[in-house]
Homo-oligomer: A and B are copies of this chain.
Amino acid sequence: MNDYSRRALVADIGGTNFRLAITDIDRLTIEHFALLSTGDFTRPQDAIERYLKTVPFRPEMVALALAGPVDNDTARLTNRPWEFTKADIQAVTGAETVLLINDFEALALAVPTLTDYDLHEVKRGKLAKGHNRMVVGPGTGLGLSGLLWQNGEWLPIASEGGHMSFGARDAAELELVEAMDLKPGVVTAERLLSGAGLAALYNALAGGKTEPRDQFSAARITKAAIARQDPVAVRALDQFVIWLARFASDMALAFGARGGIYIGGGIAPNIIPALESPAFARAFSENHEVAGFFEDIPVWVIKDGADAELKGAALALARLAPSTAPVTLKA
């Protein structure tokens, strides 16, 4: 006989991908995994409804991690006009417990559970136990969160830092950002450090001569750059990686994240050689104002197959409904 009381439906709703699974919230197993395209649905409820028809039972707990802010019982996707409430999800799932969480807050919760198998080290450092950590991730948008070690517990810091304003370091950089022809208003980190940002950067470096941007452009550019098939793509990715390194080091200072940087999101796993380059490490460590702060901080990429957002959503549920045998985490 199976005990389904600790099983939950978990989902990770990004601007591009919609991942769903059934998990045991104590063991963090991933079963009945499904990968859907967010763009195929007009409401998250429709994707969840379709998925639930493919699994043999109805879980009583649901946790949705999503790329956008969560305020009380309402969630809003940043890069899609979706807004929904706990009650909306309860109506479609019949679940008693529904939890909504920002996807990078979920990632932060999952970080202490990730193993060497889930991570790829792109900049060496020394593991500093009991120090804060940070998660950053360019994808459809730019996600960010902190992880605070306090009183023997890891606490996630939900952040809107992807929307921070971006400033140029010198005239060449200022000219490049202006050539990117971004939408009006304050230039934010996300406008540069996202799939659309990489496409705009490529277009600017190509002299504005590329095809109309579509949602697959970033994937094409990273592929061509890593294969060294297109010199403009190589230049675009080089600049992208420098901006990402700078943003990561600035936010490491903000969160006091000596304990490590974790790069999640859709783009990082596809550009690992560029993140392992000396240019990334140099841009990450170039700020010498705080002696020795950066040298020892390790930087990892969270592999796509780690399903870290789904595990994080499960962990958030486990915190709500503690088991008699909870997962123990190391400092």
Point out residues on A near B: beta carbons under 8 Å. 69, 132, 144, 146, 148, 150, 155, 157-161, 163-171, 173-174, 185-188, 190, 246, 249-251, 253-256, 286-290, 293
When distances are taken between beta carbons in the complex, the residues of chain B under 8 Å from A188 are: 287, 289
Q: Are A251 and B254 in contact (CB under 8 A)?
A: yes
Q: Lowest 9 CB-CB distances: which A-B pairs, in order? A: A167-B167, A161-B254, A160-B253, A163-B289, A164-B250, A186-B287, A163-B290, A254-B254, A158-B256
Q: Are A144 and B254 in contact (CB under 8 A)?
A: yes
How far is it, in angstroms, between the C-alpha of A287 and the C-alpha of B185 when the chains are bound? Answer: 7
Q: Are B163 and A166 in contact (CB under 8 A)?
A: no
Most buried by B among A132, A158, A253, A288: A253
Q: Are A256 and B159 in contact (CB under 8 A)?
A: yes
How far is it, in angstroms, between the C-alpha of A169 and the C-alpha of B187 when the chains are bound? Answer: 8
Q: Given the interface contacts A148-B157, A157-B148, A157-B157, does A287 sit within 8 Å of B254 by beta carbon? A: no
How far is it, in angstroms, between the C-alpha of A159 and the C-alpha of B251 when the chains are bound? Answer: 10
Q: Given the interface contacts A148-B155, A167-B169, A171-B174, does A293 sit within 8 Å of B160 by beta carbon? A: yes
When distances are taken between beta carbons in the complex, the residues of chain B under 8 Å from A170 are: 174
How far is it, in angstroms, between the C-alpha of A174 and the C-alpha of B175 when the chains are bound? Answer: 12
Q: Are B290 and A165 in contact (CB under 8 A)?
A: no
- With CB as the reference atom, state the residue of chain B lying closest to A161: B254
- With CB as the reference atom, state the residue of chain B lying closest to A158: B256
Most buried by B among A166, A169, A289, A290: A289
- With CB as the reference atom, state the residue of chain B lying closest to A160: B253
How far is it, in angstroms, between the C-alpha of A169 and the C-alpha of B167 when the chains are bound? Answer: 5
Q: Shortest CB–CB separation between residue A141 and chain B, in angstroms?
A: 10
Q: Are B167 and A253 in contact (CB under 8 A)?
A: no
Partner of A185, one of B157, B159, B168, B288: B288
Q: Given the interface contacts A254-B159, A256-B158, does A287 sit within 8 Å of B168 by beta carbon? A: no
How far is it, in angstroms, between the C-alpha of A290 and the C-alpha of B141 when the chains are bound? Answer: 13
Q: Are A165 and B246 in contact (CB under 8 A)?
A: yes
Partner of A190, one of B69, B289, B293: B289
How far is it, in angstroms, between the C-alpha of A155 and the C-alpha of B158 when the chains are bound? Answer: 14
Q: Are A155 and B165 in contact (CB under 8 A)?
A: no
- With CB as the reference atom, state the residue of chain B lying closest to A151: B155
